[in-house]
Amino acid sequence: MCYNYNPVDDVSVCLLSDNFNLLELVQSFEKTWSDHRGDEYSLFRVKIINHSNKPISHIYIGTDFTFDLKQQNSSVWNIRLDSWNNFLTLPNYVNSIRPYSYHLFGYIVRGNTSPNMVIRSITYMD
């Protein structure tokens, strides 16, 4: 289930899970600011949590037009962005997300609303 950011409560904004509740994406709002032109930006951190007893070797997280990065390549970190296909996946230097562990990444978007994200695919290692 995904919820939009509520600036009054300043709470986690998104919780997505797969059909078996073995994986969660938790988006947390960090802060919002405006630049000298009055354009507003927000920083979010995302935790990919593996609740299974198997390592995750690949994950594909779908995005859409709401994933409006401040700057295309430098406003997302610790995750690989495929802007042509509109998805996020683990960076090359992360071999897997261990069982009962997590991976953190972050991004900066225009505005103050958490972007839409959908778990498209998960590959577990045997």
Q: Is 2 part of a structural domain of the chain?
A: no
Take residue 29 and report the two structure tokens written for it: 């709002």
Looking at residue 3, its pLDDT comes to: 43
The CA-based dihedral angle spanning residues 51, 6, 46, 40, taken in that order and rounded to the nearest 10 degrees? 170
Strand partners, 24: 17, 49
Q: Is 118 part of a structural domain of the chain?
A: yes
Strand partners, 27: 14, 46
The model's pTM is: 0.82
Summarize pLDDT for 51-79 with one digit per residue, the tens.
889 999 999 999 888 888 998 778 999 99
Q: Is 54 part of a structural domain of the chain?
A: yes
Summarize pLDDT for 83-104 with one digit per residue, the tens.
788 899 999 999 999 999 999 9
Q: Is 96 part of a structural domain of the chain?
A: yes
What's the total number of domains in the chain? 1
Q: Residue 50 is part of a domain; what is its CATH number?
A: 2.60.40.290
Q: Is 1 part of a structural domain of the chain?
A: no
Q: Is 7 part of a structural domain of the chain?
A: no
Q: Is 3 part of a structural domain of the chain?
A: no
Looking at residue 18, its pLDDT comes to: 56
Q: Domain span at residue 64?
A: 12-124
